[in-house]
Amino acid sequence: PQPAPTSLGLQFPDGFIWGAATSAYQIEGATAIDGRGPSVWDTFSRKPGKVRNGETGDVAADHYHRWADDLDLIRDLGLRSYRFSISWPRVIPGGRGPVNKKGLDFYRRLVDGLRERGVTPMVTLYHWDTPHELQVDGGWENRDTAYRFADYAAVLAEALGDAVPNWLTLNEPKTIVQNGYLYGSHAPGHRNPAAAYVVAHHQLLGHGLAVQAMRPHLSASTRIGPALNLHPCYPADETNEARARTILHDGYENRLYLDPILKGAYPQDVLDDVATFSPMQEHIKDGDLDVIGSPVELLAVQYYCPLYVTADGQTVQKHRTSEAFWQQIYPEGMYDILTRIKKDYGDIALTITENGLPTPDTLGDDGTVRDDGRIAFLRDHFSAAHRAITDGVNLESYHVWSLMDNFEWEQGFDQRWGLVYVDYADQRRVPKASAHWYSQVIRDNGL
Protein backbone atom coordinates (compact mmCIF):
# COMPACT_ATOMS: atom_id res chain seq x y z
CA PRO A 1 0.00 0.00 0.00
CA GLN A 2 1.05 3.58 -0.64
CA PRO A 3 2.11 5.53 2.43
CA ALA A 4 -0.50 8.05 3.54
CA PRO A 5 0.05 11.43 1.89
CA THR A 6 1.84 13.79 4.25
CA SER A 7 1.54 17.54 4.47
CA LEU A 8 4.96 18.56 3.13
CA GLY A 9 5.22 15.64 0.73
CA LEU A 10 8.68 14.70 1.98
CA GLN A 11 9.41 10.99 2.00
CA PHE A 12 12.59 9.77 3.74
CA PRO A 13 14.58 6.88 2.25
CA ASP A 14 13.49 3.35 3.13
CA GLY A 15 15.34 2.24 6.21
CA PHE A 16 15.82 5.73 7.60
CA ILE A 17 15.87 5.40 11.40
CA TRP A 18 14.06 7.75 13.76
CA GLY A 19 14.91 7.95 17.42
CA ALA A 20 15.47 10.09 20.48
CA ALA A 21 18.36 10.77 22.84
CA THR A 22 19.10 11.20 26.55
CA SER A 23 22.15 11.12 28.80
CA ALA A 24 22.82 9.35 32.08
CA TYR A 25 23.26 12.21 34.55
CA GLN A 26 20.36 14.12 33.03
CA ILE A 27 17.74 11.38 33.56
CA GLU A 28 18.90 8.56 35.83
CA GLY A 29 18.96 9.96 39.37
CA ALA A 30 19.93 7.25 41.89
CA THR A 31 23.35 8.82 42.20
CA ALA A 32 24.30 7.00 45.42
CA ILE A 33 22.72 3.62 44.73
CA ASP A 34 24.10 0.19 43.82
CA GLY A 35 27.70 1.23 44.17
CA ARG A 36 27.80 4.24 41.86
CA GLY A 37 30.67 6.59 42.65
CA PRO A 38 30.40 10.38 42.50
CA SER A 39 30.96 12.23 39.24
CA VAL A 40 32.12 15.77 38.60
CA TRP A 41 28.49 16.77 38.03
CA ASP A 42 27.54 15.56 41.52
CA THR A 43 30.23 17.69 43.08
CA PHE A 44 29.71 20.66 40.75
CA SER A 45 25.93 20.84 41.07
CA ARG A 46 26.24 20.83 44.89
CA LYS A 47 28.37 23.95 44.89
CA PRO A 48 26.24 27.02 45.63
CA GLY A 49 25.37 29.14 42.61
CA LYS A 50 26.40 26.68 39.92
CA VAL A 51 22.98 25.35 38.89
CA ARG A 52 19.75 27.32 38.72
CA ASN A 53 17.71 26.89 41.92
CA GLY A 54 20.49 24.75 43.38
CA GLU A 55 19.15 21.70 41.57
CA THR A 56 21.11 18.47 41.11
CA GLY A 57 20.73 15.19 39.25
CA ASP A 58 20.16 13.25 42.50
CA VAL A 59 16.65 12.24 41.41
CA ALA A 60 16.30 13.77 37.92
CA ALA A 61 13.67 11.78 36.00
CA ASP A 62 14.29 8.72 38.21
CA HIS A 63 15.00 6.70 35.10
CA TYR A 64 17.23 4.31 37.06
CA HIS A 65 14.09 2.98 38.74
CA ARG A 66 11.59 3.61 35.94
CA TRP A 67 13.65 2.27 33.05
CA ALA A 68 11.21 -0.51 32.13
CA ASP A 69 8.24 1.89 31.84
CA ASP A 70 10.42 4.31 29.92
CA LEU A 71 11.36 1.58 27.45
CA ASP A 72 7.66 0.76 27.01
CA LEU A 73 7.09 4.42 26.22
CA ILE A 74 9.91 4.41 23.66
CA ARG A 75 8.31 1.39 21.99
CA ASP A 76 4.81 2.85 22.14
CA LEU A 77 5.95 6.08 20.49
CA GLY A 78 7.36 3.98 17.66
CA LEU A 79 10.99 5.04 18.08
CA ARG A 80 13.37 2.65 16.32
CA SER A 81 16.60 3.85 17.91
CA TYR A 82 17.33 5.08 21.42
CA ARG A 83 20.57 6.89 22.12
CA PHE A 84 21.55 6.97 25.79
CA SER A 85 24.80 7.30 27.72
CA ILE A 86 26.46 5.11 30.29
CA SER A 87 27.52 6.58 33.59
CA TRP A 88 31.26 5.98 33.93
CA PRO A 89 31.17 6.15 37.76
CA ARG A 90 28.31 3.63 37.85
CA VAL A 91 30.49 1.11 36.02
CA ILE A 92 33.91 2.04 37.45
CA PRO A 93 33.09 3.99 40.62
CA GLY A 94 36.60 5.31 41.22
CA GLY A 95 37.37 5.94 37.56
CA ARG A 96 40.11 3.33 37.73
CA GLY A 97 40.11 -0.06 39.34
CA PRO A 98 37.30 -2.48 40.07
CA VAL A 99 34.22 -2.78 37.91
CA ASN A 100 30.87 -2.42 39.71
CA LYS A 101 28.83 -5.40 38.55
CA LYS A 102 25.53 -3.83 39.63
CA GLY A 103 26.26 -0.83 37.43
CA LEU A 104 27.04 -2.99 34.42
CA ASP A 105 23.91 -5.07 35.08
CA PHE A 106 21.72 -1.98 34.83
CA TYR A 107 22.95 -1.24 31.33
CA ARG A 108 22.66 -4.89 30.32
CA ARG A 109 18.98 -4.77 31.34
CA LEU A 110 18.55 -1.56 29.39
CA VAL A 111 20.16 -2.88 26.22
CA ASP A 112 18.29 -6.20 26.38
CA GLY A 113 15.04 -4.41 27.22
CA LEU A 114 15.38 -2.21 24.16
CA ARG A 115 16.06 -5.14 21.87
CA GLU A 116 13.09 -7.06 23.28
CA ARG A 117 10.97 -4.07 22.31
CA GLY A 118 12.40 -3.85 18.81
CA VAL A 119 14.43 -0.71 19.51
CA THR A 120 18.10 -0.48 18.53
CA PRO A 121 20.37 0.83 21.29
CA MET A 122 22.95 3.49 20.44
CA VAL A 123 25.37 3.90 23.33
CA THR A 124 27.42 6.96 24.27
CA LEU A 125 30.30 6.00 26.55
CA TYR A 126 30.73 9.41 28.09
CA HIS A 127 28.37 12.34 28.40
CA TRP A 128 30.40 14.59 30.76
CA ASP A 129 30.12 12.62 34.02
CA THR A 130 33.82 12.08 34.76
CA PRO A 131 34.38 10.03 37.92
CA HIS A 132 35.16 12.46 40.71
CA GLU A 133 38.29 10.52 41.72
CA LEU A 134 39.83 11.16 38.31
CA GLN A 135 39.06 14.86 38.57
CA VAL A 136 40.93 14.97 41.88
CA ASP A 137 43.98 13.97 39.84
CA GLY A 138 43.33 16.61 37.19
CA GLY A 139 40.60 15.02 35.08
CA TRP A 140 41.18 15.59 31.36
CA GLU A 141 44.11 17.90 32.14
CA ASN A 142 45.90 14.70 33.14
CA ARG A 143 46.93 12.45 30.25
CA ASP A 144 46.24 9.43 32.44
CA THR A 145 42.49 10.07 32.16
CA ALA A 146 42.64 9.20 28.45
CA TYR A 147 44.06 5.76 29.31
CA ARG A 148 41.51 5.20 32.06
CA PHE A 149 38.77 6.10 29.58
CA ALA A 150 40.10 3.44 27.20
CA ASP A 151 40.05 0.86 30.01
CA TYR A 152 36.43 1.74 30.71
CA ALA A 153 35.55 1.56 27.01
CA ALA A 154 37.03 -1.94 26.79
CA VAL A 155 34.95 -3.08 29.78
CA LEU A 156 31.77 -1.93 28.07
CA ALA A 157 32.66 -3.34 24.68
CA GLU A 158 33.30 -6.69 26.29
CA ALA A 159 30.10 -6.61 28.36
CA LEU A 160 27.66 -5.19 25.81
CA GLY A 161 29.40 -5.45 22.46
CA ASP A 162 27.22 -8.31 21.26
CA ALA A 163 24.06 -6.22 21.63
CA VAL A 164 25.02 -2.70 20.57
CA PRO A 165 25.65 -2.06 16.86
CA ASN A 166 26.68 1.61 17.17
CA TRP A 167 28.97 3.12 19.82
CA LEU A 168 29.75 6.76 20.41
CA THR A 169 32.86 7.63 22.40
CA LEU A 170 32.75 11.21 23.72
CA ASN A 171 29.73 13.47 23.72
CA GLU A 172 30.73 16.98 22.67
CA PRO A 173 34.34 17.24 23.80
CA LYS A 174 34.09 20.90 22.78
CA THR A 175 31.52 21.62 25.47
CA ILE A 176 33.92 20.43 28.18
CA VAL A 177 36.64 22.62 26.67
CA GLN A 178 34.42 25.69 26.44
CA ASN A 179 31.90 25.44 29.24
CA GLY A 180 33.97 23.32 31.62
CA TYR A 181 37.36 25.04 31.19
CA LEU A 182 36.81 28.44 29.52
CA TYR A 183 33.55 29.79 30.94
CA GLY A 184 33.29 27.71 34.11
CA SER A 185 29.56 27.16 33.60
CA HIS A 186 29.82 23.36 33.48
CA ALA A 187 31.79 20.90 35.61
CA PRO A 188 34.56 21.12 36.60
CA GLY A 189 33.90 24.87 36.54
CA HIS A 190 37.31 26.25 35.58
CA ARG A 191 38.20 29.44 33.73
CA ASN A 192 41.59 28.50 32.40
CA PRO A 193 42.25 28.92 28.66
CA ALA A 194 45.72 27.40 28.97
CA ALA A 195 44.28 24.19 30.43
CA ALA A 196 41.26 24.12 28.14
CA TYR A 197 43.19 23.08 25.03
CA VAL A 198 45.26 20.52 26.90
CA VAL A 199 41.87 19.11 27.86
CA ALA A 200 40.86 19.14 24.19
CA HIS A 201 43.90 17.07 23.25
CA HIS A 202 43.54 14.57 26.07
CA GLN A 203 39.86 14.05 25.29
CA LEU A 204 40.69 13.44 21.63
CA LEU A 205 43.45 11.05 22.69
CA GLY A 206 40.92 9.30 24.94
CA HIS A 207 38.60 8.94 21.97
CA GLY A 208 41.31 7.31 19.86
CA LEU A 209 42.53 5.04 22.65
CA ALA A 210 38.95 3.96 23.32
CA VAL A 211 38.38 3.10 19.67
CA GLN A 212 41.49 0.93 19.72
CA ALA A 213 40.63 -0.70 23.05
CA MET A 214 37.11 -1.60 21.98
CA ARG A 215 37.88 -3.19 18.60
CA PRO A 216 39.05 -6.60 19.83
CA HIS A 217 35.74 -7.05 21.65
CA LEU A 218 33.47 -6.04 18.77
CA SER A 219 32.30 -7.76 15.61
CA ALA A 220 33.49 -6.45 12.26
CA SER A 221 30.10 -4.84 11.57
CA THR A 222 29.97 -2.89 14.85
CA ARG A 223 30.61 0.79 14.32
CA ILE A 224 32.27 3.41 16.49
CA GLY A 225 32.40 7.18 16.18
CA PRO A 226 32.52 10.46 18.09
CA ALA A 227 29.49 12.66 18.89
CA LEU A 228 30.38 16.24 17.98
CA ASN A 229 28.30 19.38 18.33
CA LEU A 230 28.99 21.30 15.17
CA HIS A 231 28.16 24.92 14.48
CA PRO A 232 28.11 26.27 10.95
CA CYS A 233 29.90 29.62 11.15
CA TYR A 234 29.03 32.58 8.94
CA PRO A 235 30.53 36.05 8.72
CA ALA A 236 28.29 38.60 10.45
CA ASP A 237 29.00 41.07 7.64
CA GLU A 238 30.77 41.12 4.30
CA THR A 239 34.07 42.62 5.44
CA ASN A 240 37.30 40.72 4.83
CA GLU A 241 38.02 40.88 8.56
CA ALA A 242 34.75 39.16 9.41
CA ARG A 243 35.43 36.49 6.79
CA ALA A 244 38.90 35.82 8.15
CA ARG A 245 37.69 35.64 11.76
CA THR A 246 34.92 33.27 10.66
CA ILE A 247 37.48 30.81 9.26
CA LEU A 248 39.38 30.77 12.54
CA HIS A 249 36.16 30.53 14.52
CA ASP A 250 35.13 27.54 12.42
CA GLY A 251 38.50 26.06 13.30
CA TYR A 252 37.79 26.31 17.02
CA GLU A 253 34.19 25.13 16.76
CA ASN A 254 34.45 22.37 14.17
CA ARG A 255 37.83 21.56 12.60
CA LEU A 256 39.69 21.23 15.92
CA TYR A 257 37.68 18.04 16.51
CA LEU A 258 36.79 16.85 13.01
CA ASP A 259 40.29 17.11 11.50
CA PRO A 260 42.28 15.03 14.00
CA ILE A 261 39.60 12.34 14.16
CA LEU A 262 38.82 12.11 10.45
CA LYS A 263 42.11 13.30 8.91
CA GLY A 264 44.66 12.51 11.63
CA ALA A 265 45.95 16.09 11.81
CA TYR A 266 45.16 19.21 13.81
CA PRO A 267 44.24 22.31 11.80
CA GLN A 268 47.40 24.45 11.68
CA ASP A 269 45.58 27.78 12.00
CA VAL A 270 44.00 26.69 15.28
CA LEU A 271 47.24 25.18 16.61
CA ASP A 272 49.06 28.45 15.90
CA ASP A 273 46.39 30.51 17.59
CA VAL A 274 46.18 28.22 20.61
CA ALA A 275 49.97 28.41 20.97
CA THR A 276 49.64 32.09 21.88
CA PHE A 277 47.95 31.24 25.19
CA SER A 278 48.08 27.47 25.87
CA PRO A 279 50.86 24.84 26.13
CA MET A 280 48.64 22.37 24.23
CA GLN A 281 51.38 21.45 21.75
CA GLU A 282 53.76 20.33 24.49
CA HIS A 283 51.19 17.66 25.34
CA ILE A 284 50.94 16.23 21.81
CA LYS A 285 53.31 13.25 21.91
CA ASP A 286 54.70 11.29 18.96
CA GLY A 287 52.04 8.94 17.67
CA ASP A 288 49.11 10.70 19.34
CA LEU A 289 47.58 11.79 16.06
CA ASP A 290 47.76 8.26 14.68
CA VAL A 291 45.79 7.15 17.72
CA ILE A 292 43.27 9.98 17.45
CA GLY A 293 42.89 9.29 13.74
CA SER A 294 42.10 5.60 14.27
CA PRO A 295 39.47 4.62 11.70
CA VAL A 296 35.85 5.26 12.68
CA GLU A 297 32.77 4.28 10.70
CA LEU A 298 30.24 6.75 11.99
CA LEU A 299 30.09 10.46 12.71
CA ALA A 300 27.39 11.58 15.12
CA VAL A 301 26.38 15.18 14.50
CA GLN A 302 24.59 17.36 17.05
CA TYR A 303 23.16 20.49 15.51
CA TYR A 304 21.39 23.21 17.46
CA CYS A 305 22.31 26.57 15.94
CA PRO A 306 24.67 28.59 13.73
CA LEU A 307 27.22 31.22 14.79
CA TYR A 308 27.75 34.64 13.17
CA VAL A 309 31.24 36.04 13.59
CA THR A 310 32.19 39.72 13.53
CA ALA A 311 35.41 41.40 12.40
CA ASP A 312 36.66 41.44 15.99
CA GLY A 313 35.91 37.76 16.51
CA GLN A 314 32.74 38.16 18.58
CA THR A 315 29.53 36.29 17.83
CA VAL A 316 26.23 38.07 17.26
CA GLN A 317 22.59 37.18 16.95
CA LYS A 318 20.85 37.22 13.56
CA HIS A 319 17.79 35.11 14.21
CA ARG A 320 15.13 34.60 16.83
CA THR A 321 16.45 32.68 19.83
CA SER A 322 14.78 29.90 21.77
CA GLU A 323 14.32 29.74 25.55
CA ALA A 324 18.02 28.88 25.54
CA PHE A 325 19.82 32.23 25.13
CA TRP A 326 22.51 30.65 22.97
CA GLN A 327 20.19 29.00 20.46
CA GLN A 328 19.31 30.98 17.35
CA ILE A 329 16.80 29.12 15.25
CA TYR A 330 18.14 28.51 11.76
CA PRO A 331 17.11 25.21 10.13
CA GLU A 332 19.25 25.85 7.03
CA GLY A 333 22.28 25.44 9.27
CA MET A 334 21.41 21.75 9.45
CA TYR A 335 21.65 21.49 5.67
CA ASP A 336 24.86 23.51 5.59
CA ILE A 337 26.69 21.47 8.22
CA LEU A 338 25.67 18.12 6.72
CA THR A 339 26.66 19.05 3.17
CA ARG A 340 29.88 20.62 4.38
CA ILE A 341 30.90 17.40 6.15
CA LYS A 342 30.41 15.47 2.93
CA LYS A 343 32.40 18.04 0.98
CA ASP A 344 35.34 18.22 3.42
CA TYR A 345 35.39 14.78 5.03
CA GLY A 346 33.85 12.42 2.47
CA ASP A 347 31.05 9.93 2.68
CA ILE A 348 31.32 8.65 6.24
CA ALA A 349 27.94 7.47 7.58
CA LEU A 350 26.23 10.24 9.52
CA THR A 351 23.67 10.16 12.28
CA ILE A 352 22.03 13.14 13.91
CA THR A 353 22.34 12.31 17.60
CA GLU A 354 20.89 15.56 18.90
CA ASN A 355 18.63 18.32 17.64
CA GLY A 356 15.83 19.93 19.58
CA LEU A 357 14.26 22.95 21.22
CA PRO A 358 13.29 23.93 24.77
CA THR A 359 9.73 25.24 25.14
CA PRO A 360 7.75 26.54 28.16
CA ASP A 361 5.60 23.44 28.48
CA THR A 362 2.86 23.03 31.04
CA LEU A 363 0.49 20.19 31.70
CA GLY A 364 -3.00 21.37 30.73
CA ASP A 365 -6.17 20.69 32.71
CA ASP A 366 -7.15 18.26 29.98
CA GLY A 367 -3.97 16.29 30.60
CA THR A 368 -2.25 17.35 27.36
CA VAL A 369 0.90 19.36 26.68
CA ARG A 370 0.75 21.69 23.67
CA ASP A 371 4.25 22.32 22.32
CA ASP A 372 3.55 23.67 18.86
CA GLY A 373 6.88 25.48 18.79
CA ARG A 374 8.72 22.19 19.07
CA ILE A 375 6.67 20.68 16.24
CA ALA A 376 7.46 23.61 13.93
CA PHE A 377 11.15 23.47 14.87
CA LEU A 378 11.43 19.76 14.21
CA ARG A 379 9.43 19.97 10.98
CA ASP A 380 11.81 22.63 9.64
CA HIS A 381 14.95 20.75 10.72
CA PHE A 382 13.68 17.41 9.38
CA SER A 383 13.01 19.19 6.09
CA ALA A 384 16.56 20.55 6.00
CA ALA A 385 17.94 17.07 6.70
CA HIS A 386 15.75 15.68 3.93
CA ARG A 387 17.16 18.23 1.51
CA ALA A 388 20.70 17.21 2.49
CA ILE A 389 19.84 13.55 1.86
CA THR A 390 18.37 14.46 -1.52
CA ASP A 391 21.66 16.17 -2.31
CA GLY A 392 23.60 12.99 -1.57
CA VAL A 393 24.49 13.23 2.13
CA ASN A 394 24.82 9.81 3.77
CA LEU A 395 22.51 10.52 6.73
CA GLU A 396 21.01 7.36 8.12
CA SER A 397 19.24 8.28 11.34
CA TYR A 398 17.93 11.18 13.42
CA HIS A 399 17.66 11.40 17.20
CA VAL A 400 15.62 14.18 18.73
CA TRP A 401 16.96 15.78 21.90
CA SER A 402 15.37 14.70 24.08
CA LEU A 403 13.15 11.72 24.74
CA MET A 404 11.92 13.37 27.92
CA ASP A 405 12.36 16.48 30.04
CA ASN A 406 15.48 16.24 32.16
CA PHE A 407 18.24 17.97 34.11
CA GLU A 408 19.44 20.64 31.69
CA TRP A 409 22.86 21.08 33.34
CA GLU A 410 23.39 24.60 34.74
CA GLN A 411 19.79 25.47 33.80
CA GLY A 412 18.40 22.78 36.08
CA PHE A 413 14.90 21.50 35.40
CA ASP A 414 13.25 24.72 34.20
CA GLN A 415 14.21 24.21 30.57
CA ARG A 416 12.12 21.42 29.09
CA TRP A 417 13.61 19.76 26.01
CA GLY A 418 11.57 16.55 25.98
CA LEU A 419 9.13 15.00 23.56
CA VAL A 420 7.66 13.61 26.77
CA TYR A 421 6.69 15.84 29.68
CA VAL A 422 7.96 14.83 33.11
CA ASP A 423 5.96 15.95 36.13
CA TYR A 424 8.75 16.08 38.70
CA ALA A 425 6.24 16.03 41.58
CA ASP A 426 5.23 12.45 40.86
CA GLN A 427 7.51 11.47 37.94
CA ARG A 428 4.52 10.97 35.67
CA ARG A 429 5.37 10.91 31.96
CA VAL A 430 3.01 12.61 29.50
CA PRO A 431 3.83 12.51 25.78
CA LYS A 432 3.55 16.06 24.45
CA ALA A 433 1.77 17.00 21.22
CA SER A 434 5.19 16.84 19.55
CA ALA A 435 5.58 13.21 20.59
CA HIS A 436 2.29 12.28 18.94
CA TRP A 437 3.23 14.27 15.86
CA TYR A 438 6.66 12.58 15.76
CA SER A 439 5.05 9.14 16.02
CA GLN A 440 3.11 9.95 12.87
CA VAL A 441 6.27 11.13 11.09
CA ILE A 442 7.86 7.81 11.99
CA ARG A 443 4.87 5.79 10.80
CA ASP A 444 4.87 7.70 7.50
CA ASN A 445 8.67 7.88 7.28
CA GLY A 446 8.03 11.38 6.08
CA LEU A 447 6.18 14.58 6.69
Using rule CB under 6 A, residue 354 touches ligand GBH:
yes
Options 41, 107, 252, 304; binder of ligand GBH; rule CB under 6 A = 304
Task: Tell me the residue nearest to ligand GBH as measured from the CB.
Answer: 326
Distance CA 218, CA 125 (A): 15
Main-chain phi, psi angles of 27, to 5 degrees: -125, -30
Q: Does residue 179 touch ligand GBH according to CB under 6 A? A: yes
Counting contacts by CB under 6 A, is residue 130 touching ligand GBH? no
Is 401 annotated in some ligand binding site? yes
Of 28, 133, 141, 354, which residue is the catalytic one?
A: 354
Q: How far is the CB of 241 from ligand GBH (least distance, A)?
A: 23
- How far CA 57 is from CA of 54, 185, 214, 425, in Å, comes to 10, 16, 29, 15
Q: Does 405 bind ligand GBH (CB under 6 A)?
A: no
Catalytic annotation on 253? Answer: no
Let me know: does 195 contact 143? Beta carbons within 8 Å.
no
d(CA 199, CA 184) in angstroms, rounded, equals: 14
Going from the C-alpha of 409 to that of each of 28, 142, 212, 231, the distances in angstroms are 13, 24, 31, 20
Alpha helices in 137-223 (DSSP H): 144-160, 173-175, 181, 193-214
Q: Is 44 in the site for ligand GBH (CB under 6 A)?
A: no
Residue 9, exposed/middle/buried by CB under 10 A (0-12, 13-18, 19+)?
exposed
Applying CB under 6 A, the span of 155-163, 175-183, 259-267, 368-376 interacting with ligand GBH comes to: 175-183
Considering the complex, what minimum distance in angstroms separates the CB of residue 202 from ligand GBH?
Answer: 19
* Dist. CA 295–CA 322, nearest whole Å: 37
Q: Which of 239/321 has CB closer to ligand GBH?
A: 321
**Contact between 417 and ligand GBH (CB under 6 A)?**
yes
CA atoms within 13 A on the CB side of 203: 31
Q: What is the H or E stretch that residue 135 is in?
A: helix 132-136
Residues in contact with ligand GBH, shown as a per-residue x/- string from 369 to 388 under the rule CB under 6 A: --------------------
Q: Is 282 a catalytic residue?
A: no
Q: Does 183 bind ligand GBH (CB under 6 A)?
A: yes
Active site residues: 172, 354
Residues that bind ligand GBH (CB under 6 A): 23, 26, 171-172, 175, 178-179, 183, 185, 229, 304, 326, 354, 401, 408, 417
Binding site members for substrate: 26, 127, 171, 304, 401, 408-409
